[in-house]
Amino acid sequence: MRGVDVGVAAMPVLSVQDLKMYYLVERRGWVRAVDGVSFDLEKGEALGLVGESGCGKSSLGITILRILPFNAKIFGGKVVLEGKDILQMPEDKFRKEIRWKKISMVFQGAMNALNPVMRVGDQIAEAILLHEDVGRQEALERARNLLKLVGIDPSRANSYPHEFSGGMRQRAMIAMALACNPSVMIADEPTTALDVIVQAQILKLIKDIQRRLGISTILVTHDLSIVADLCDKVAVMYAGKIVELGPAEKIYYRPLHPYTAKLLGAVPSVKGKRRRLEFIPGAPPDLLYPPPGCRFHPRCPYAEEICKKEEPPMKEVNGVKVACHRVEELWNL
């Protein structure tokens, strides 16, 4: 390998470091939805953030974008975008310079995310007008171009969301996310409500856009098959923490964390042979009272004393980061 320039070229677009965000539940305490999460996102990279419901993957997305509900509080960490910590930035500045301009989001359930009483073109133009010093006509023209980019006839800019099908609405949402040429796009379950053929078309669109515009993407989903289709890098989340992080092929072919291995064993494949699927006994923990030590230990078949007491540190094994005490002995590494 030749030497890599240290400096701007090697710097990740987005670097999240030890990020913590908890929700306050009255009279009961803090729900530790995001609890010490770290990862880097390189330029043009697609990172898949996978985990089951309630693991904190969506919370992580809205923490990065700082669109938190009133009962949520950031307890520490850094979000470094192109070298600047944007977590500490004043809200006013963040709204003008970062949110949507540098980092945008495609929300889950496109049916509900669009304003039903506003023309689609106007909604996209609005995002541009809020962040850039351009005229209305120019913004509308750009909105039409964006619709074209996502495969919708530009004349449909005058339509209302109800005149669009589910797939088209999701395309319009993607156009809106691209409105200000962001460096990072967070897509939170972008295809969950869609039928499989439409889903495949949306995934293809996201891939195309990524390749053409060089946007770095974080795909938040519960579906390991979708991540396999779209992402180069995978972060597996469990109970508010990343348990395994690395290149997709390594993680899928040689999962190191017992949770990742079990989860992959539970996914049926349409291409595979008929087999009895594995499952993980029990349910994820209540994040108001997460278990001590490794949060997966109550469901882990390999748990030992140390797992119940000490939180496993993130170690680098075979080019993959994994948080498991027993990883070396389990796989004879």
Which residues of this chain interact with other proteins, rule CB under 8 A? 52-53, 165, 167, 195-201, 203-204, 222-226, 228-229, 231, 248-249, 252, 262-264, 266-272, 274-281, 283
Query: Among the residues of the chain, which ranges form H helices?
Result: 57-64, 91-97, 110-113, 120-131, 136-149, 166-177, 196-213, 224-230, 248-253, 258-265, 305-309, 327-331
Shortest reach from residue 295's CB to other proteins, in Å: 14
Q: Which is nearer to other proteins, 78 or 222 (CB)?
A: 222
Residue 235 half-sphere exposure toward CB, CA atoms < 13 A:
24
Shortest reach from residue 45's CB to other proteins, in Å: 14
Shortest reach from residue 31's CB to other proteins, in Å: 16
Question: What are the distances in angstroms from CA 233 to CA 119, 152, 219, 230?
Answer: 37, 30, 10, 9
Q: How many CB atoms lie within 10 A of CB 271?
A: 4
Whole-angstrom Cα distance, residue 143 to residue 178? 10
Shortest reach from residue 54's CB to other proteins, in Å: 9
Shortest reach from residue 87's CB to other proteins, in Å: 30
Q: Which is nearer to other proteins, 52 or 82 (CB)?
A: 52
Shortest reach from residue 230's CB to other proteins, in Å: 8
Whole-angstrom Cα distance, residue 235 to residue 227? 10
Shortest reach from residue 219's CB to other proteins, in Å: 12
Could you write out the DSSP letters of every residue in 148-178?
A: HHTT--GGGGGS-GGGS-HHHHHHHHHHHHT
Whole-angstrom Cα distance, residue 43 to residue 59? 23
Phi, psi (5° rounding) for residue 203?
Answer: -60, -40
Q: Are 110 and 173 in contact (CB under 8 A)?
A: yes
Give the bridge partners for 217, in sequence order: 46, 185
Shortest reach from residue 323's CB to other proteins, in Å: 18
Q: Which is nearer to other proteins, 145 or 225 (CB)?
A: 225
Whole-angstrom Cα distance, residue 75 to residue 31? 12
Q: Which is nearer to other proteins, 154 or 265 (CB)?
A: 265
**H or E element that contains 73:** strand 72-81
The one-letter code for the residue type at 263 is L
